[in-house]
Amino acid sequence: MADDVQVVPEMKTAVSEKNKEKAERFKNDGNEAFKNGHYSDAVTMYTNAIEWDPSVAVYYGNRSFAYLREELYGAALEDATTAIKLDPKYIKGYYRRAASLMALGKLKQALKDFETVTKRVPSDKDAKLKLNECQKLYKQKQFEWAIRSDDKSTSVFDTVDPTTIVVEDSYTGPRLIDGKVTEDFMQQLIPHFKDQKPLHRKYALEILLQIRDYFKAAPSMVEIPVPEKSKFSVCGDIHGQYYDLCNIFDLNGLPSTENPYLFNGDFVDRGSFSIECIFTLFGFKLLYPNHFFLARGNHETDNMNSIYGFRGEVKAKYSDQMYDVFTEVFNLLPLSHLINKKVLVMHGGLFSKPDVTIEDIRHIDRNRQPPDSGLMCEILWSDPQDQLGLKASKRGVAFEFGPDVTENFCKLNNIDYVIRSHEVKPEGYEVSHNGRCITVFSAPNYCDTIGNLGALIIFTGGDLTPKFVTFKAVPHPNVAAMSYASSMFRMLGG
């Protein structure tokens, strides 16, 4: 991604009073939808307002805010920039642009916009607070970058030794026997977590050490053979919603050699029970390594974890050092899975280049934080679109790809269809691109506010036709989503 903010041409359009009135009505409808948390509807209303009167900065600023809430940071940035171009005195435009830039990791540019606000409105205490927070975050990231080592031969695990950690007599939770995850351990772990009790640090580190070693030896693309009459289940985003994860197991059965699963990324962030989710998933992976599969999502990355809660949750429940351990493990998660050589599963989507093959995916160097472009970025971030071809994503990262792109990819690689996650859907799933692209999202009532269903996909090895199971959210303890989010996230609503 280019670091330069897009410059939008000046708009000089004569607008009739009748059109202005229509635009205002749409804006008011958009404000009502936004207030009720219906951000997609708000975007539609603000878009209608802009179509009737494209000269009003507030319409773009409001749509930018709605895009921010939908995490479409590229579109939010573009609208905020347009608003500022239309009205350089529109202070909220600078707020919106700063928030968009921060979400895209461009803290230095965000600082400039906060500085602009504080200079123009010196009495704005909120602007000063956000400027100070942004400065702290920028300095923190600069420091982390300065001390970061590219030497993959060194490991944070070198600084921890679970064998030296003493388990107190007061600990009543599940214990690893001889360091091994067993069926009995998992049967104890799930209710232990449901009771909001922590897994002891010793066992947490032992699990992370074992899962690190396992994924270190795994390829970037894992092939999964499913026998002809065997059932196989694919789940999408979980996002720290532990009690909904447990509900999946209640509805569809616990993982076992006869009941295999693939969880397709975004295990953590947003929901406030990410620790419980990730240790449950890692535990089942160690218990059933050939029948339980995990793929990396765009939220198994440091940038996302630092904003959307996982880093804060790990720090609150364990330590900063434990977070560094998780970061190293997440870097090793596979990026995709190929089921019976006919169904490709990855978190985000397809690619901007028309000639990407399964072999190319197999050879992606994944042991790192994702770059801003290229195959690794796109497989984690891309989304399907209804239109033909490609266009830059509204997220500000990767691309949106059309049905022709999917068709070409499937034919080139001789596969039936692709499964991806990454996007909340009202019914928990969506079939698009003439059945060649399926989205599955398994976090119902996302962030305790969206009201969507969750879904999972079931098929058998002999019949890869997907069957969908949908489910509602279940109650959880009174800990709100985003409880562990960073100050940066709170600034995104500025």
Q: Which of 299, 337, 422, 476 is catalytic?
A: 299
pLDDT value of residue 222: 98
Say whether both 207 and 356 belong to one domain: yes
Residue 77 clears pLDDT 70, i.e. is over it: yes
Say whether both 200 and 130 belong to one domain: no
Which residue would you say has higher pLDDT here, 128 or 487? 128
Say whether both 451 and 470 belong to one domain: yes
Run of H or E residues at 453 = none
Domain C-terminal end among 147, 177, 207: 147
Which residue would you say has higher pLDDT here, 139 or 458? 458
Burial 57-66 (b: 16+ CB within 10 A, else e): bbbbbbbbbb
Say whether both 90 and 213 belong to one domain: no
Question: Three-class SS of residue 369?
Answer: coil
Burial 453-468 (b: 16+ CB within 10 A, else e): bbbbbebebeebebeb
Q: Is residue 4 part of a domain?
A: no
Domain C-terminal end among 121, 147, 173: 147
Say whether both 233 and 92 belong to one domain: no
Mean pLDDT to the nearest integer, 208-229: 96
pLDDT value of residue 148: 62
How many CB atoms sit inside 10 A of residue 169's CB?
A: 6
Residue 286 clears pLDDT 80, i.e. is over it: yes
Q: Which residues contact 341 (CB under 8 A, 6 or more apart)?
A: 223, 414, 415
Residue 146 clears pLDDT 80, i.e. is over it: no
Residue 360 clears pLDDT 80, i.e. is over it: yes
Q: How far apart are CA 217 and CA 220, in angstroms?
A: 10
Rounded percentage of the chain residues whose pLDDT exceeds 90: 83
Say whether both 195 and 102 belong to one domain: no
Active site residue 476: no
Residue 167 clears pLDDT 50, i.e. is over it: yes
Residue 493 clears pLDDT 60, i.e. is over it: no
pLDDT value of residue 307: 86
Least confident of 269-273, 414-418, 419-423, 446-450: 446-450
Q: How far apart are CA 296 and CA 20, in angstroms?
A: 47
Say whether both 127 and 193 belong to one domain: no
Least confident of 146-150, 218-222, 387-391: 146-150
Average pLDDT of the residues of the chain = 93
Q: Which residues contact 180 (CB under 8 A, 6 or more apart)?
A: none
pLDDT value of residue 46: 98
Q: Give the model's confidence band at 295: pLDDT under 50 very low, under 70 low, under 90 confident, else very high.
A: very high
Mean pLDDT to the nearest integer, 472-492: 85
Q: Is residue 325 part of a domain?
A: yes
Domain C-terminal end among 93, 118, 147: 147
Residue 5 clears pLDDT 50, i.e. is over it: no
Say whether both 87 and 27 belong to one domain: yes
Say whether both 319 and 455 belong to one domain: yes
Say whether both 358 and 465 belong to one domain: yes
Query: How many separate domains does the chain show?
Result: 2
Say whether both 193 and 239 belong to one domain: yes
Q: Is residue 5 part of a domain?
A: no
Residue 224, domain CATH: 3.60.21.10
Residue range of the domain that includes 108: 17-147
Residue 152 clears pLDDT 80, i.e. is over it: no
Q: Give the model's confidence band at 150: pLDDT under 50 very low, under 70 low, under 90 confident, else very high.
A: low
Residue 34, domain CATH: 1.25.40.10
Q: 235-268: per-residue pLDDT in tens?
A: 999 999 999 999 999 999 999 999 999 999 999 9
Say whether both 135 and 270 belong to one domain: no
Q: Give the model's confidence band at 103: pLDDT under 50 very low, under 70 low, under 90 confident, else very high.
A: confident
Residue 1 clears pLDDT 80, i.e. is over it: no
